[in-house]
Structure 1
Amino acid sequence: MTQLPGLLDIEAIRKDFPLLDRVVHDGKKIVYLDNAATSQKPRQVLDALNEYYEQHNANVHRGVHVLAEEATALYEGARDKVAAFINAPSRDEVIFTKNASESLNLVANMLGWADEPYRVDRETEIAITEMEHHSNIVPWQLLAQRTGAKLKWFGLTDDGRLDLSNIEEVITEKTKIVSFTLVSNIMGTVNPVEAIVRRAQDVGALVLIDASQAAPHMPLDVQALGADFVAFTGHKMCGPTGIGVLWGRQELLEDLPPFLGGGEMIETVSMHASTYAPAPHKFEAGTPPIAQAVGLGAAVDYLTSIGMDKIAAHEHAITEYAIKRLAEVPDLRIIGPTTAEDRGAAISFVLGDIHPHDVGQVLDEQGIAVRVGHHCARPVCLRYGIPATTRASFYLYSSPADVDALIDGLEHVRNFFG
């Protein structure tokens, strides 16, 4: 195996992930390069889910029997783990949702219903970027349509970076919220958080960061980011599907209205009016994703045991190697940064005039799993004049051998299509 500086003990880590031993298509061992869509789950997470359902399954809070108390302790314990993982000042600032999309929609709806000084209305503006996932575009379009607010955005440079040359025109005194991704899911670009946050704070705007492609791959410190809200999802960071996180500053969560109504989020209810529980329960109506939160807590334990700094170094080495190897493939164009500087482990590309769906299908026949399409980031494809891309994305269990298999697979694609 090719040796690169900074790699984890890949062989040992891969033993924790049963699916990576899966054999597909006439005995080919799967090469999983679709981690930006979802990660595989280690045995430690699978075991935690099984143990919860086999030994502790009950609804949380209010119950006085032993199972309810155990389930509540596990659920709230997961909140403690997530709070420590992201360096949140308080566990009460961690809200569980079903995914990052719900977290982003939660903030958009809160601001649409809020009183001053937070309310978004026809006199205000919303700022996003052209590289956002649809989950961080559509909620703001909906909010703008409902309220009459103006939606503005940062464009992209030719090399896949944010164009901040007009930052004072995009983020103005009218801006109420600036929402942007920390790491692009399609191009891997790591965005300049400090410059954007500084400008937003100068004009009194709130900042929401989509960290879905950051939380699994690098240390995430919400206090250091300087944002008001941070959203991410569990299934991309070794956790189960059906669990997301919204972190928000305590004072904002106290002032802003809830998004959903129902059980658990209330303090008192009469037929005339209701009062709400304090955060985080104020924003967690109904039975929450209990098992999923337990699984996310186990995923946090797993990632923490390895070390997020070490995971980031490993992925940087793999990404740098992948970019180098992809440069050897004739007619291949990377969409986004072409160096490993300030970029994550997702690499999108086009191969000559071969449609990305055809590329993905032929790679699949070789046992190589990649993602094809616009990756819920269609404005990026429009910006660069392409219908779609093929995306290879790496994680802590990815190896140089996976990269080599991709390069061999792309050679097969080129030969197949002549």
Structure 2
Amino acid sequence: VEISGHFTPIKLIQIIQYFSLCLSVSTSVSVTLQPDWSQIFSGEKITVRCEIQGGGDTEWDYEWKTPQSTSHQTHVNYWTLSVSESSSGNYMCRGRNRRDSYSSTQWSKTFTLTVSDKPQSVLTVSPSWLSPGASVTLKCEVEHPSAGWRFYWYKTVPKLSDRLYRYELLPGSDSGTEEDSYMVHGQTHTAGYVCRAGRGEPVHNMCVYNMFCVSDFPPSASLTVSPDRVQHFTSDSVSLSCEGNSTEWRVRRFPEDSYLSPCSDWGTMTGSTCNISGLNSSAVYWCESGSGQFTNSVNITGHNMILMSPVHPVTEGQSVSLGCRLKTGQKLSNNVFFYQNDKLLQNDTRVELIISAVSKSHEGFYKCQHSGKESPQSWMTVKSDSPPTTNHRVNQTENQHNDQSSPLHGQYFN
């Protein structure tokens, strides 16, 4: 636009404002997000763009209003940031003509960014019982299953020297899989597996790590408990022994209200045996060898009243006796209640629950009550009277919110 003639300063300002208004009216400004995901999680990298339509060949500088500042300027129409929950809020932008500081576009409409905490994931296995050599399907269920997730699958190998695991990438998942399931063929012994979910380029790790053991019965490596029962009295001394084809073992536990830790943190490891001087909480225990073996897992609880129940799976047709004991040693003479899956099974003068021939219908959680006191519940597994079968138990849930967790083969993790 060419303006000629003589104008007063006030008139000149009015002319400039007029042309600036025309420019503002003739352009459309908007804030966009790349990637355009419906859910954005803390730690992800995103690109915020200021899109100007109808600006012709105008060269722009860009001014932003963000939750962190009232004014942020860039020479390009985008900026990239690693978001946190504090990045949530309203974003606006406008363009300013580089050759004319008086001319600018209108402010864009407000774009609202919501950043959520990192999602959780759960690793499950199906079927829950299978014969050695059969196939097992791993499934990684991610909270907020929005578009763009890829799944990576690993086998875990313990590294005894420094409490770490080495995660070995399973075949076919180098670039991740779009499917949230993975089939392991020919599983014959105990092993730990991990799933990881990620998205974006480069891939940003967004999941938690979950590990479970697929264990045969009898397993190639085993954990034995002394005294040989699932429930123990609070402050009882308990020994956990690892057996199998290895000279190096460690015992690990995963409490209900804490984190994964080795025997050296809460007991004394002597050879392949972990001695605990006093139980104070419920936890899952298992053994790991340097060669990558995992034993069966045992859920051990500490309480003042306990249910006497089988530690290992029982075979269909066998007779099973369940009892109830108090830490005080007081003899229970009558009025003992026995429950299966919270359903009352027996309420009479008998102090034991005797099942003459167990079947699959007897599998479940059991507990007992007496004089207002209640034992923890314990799971009783019933296996078919056929060749050895395989079961799985969830052993560990490790929250890895560290962005350094990468899909590299052989990566070590705590």
Richer in strand (by share): 2
Q: Is TM (by shorter chain) over 0.5?
A: no
Higher helix share: 1
TM-score (norm 1): 0.21
Structure number, greater radius of gyration: 2
Higher relative contact order (CA 8 A, sep 6+): 1
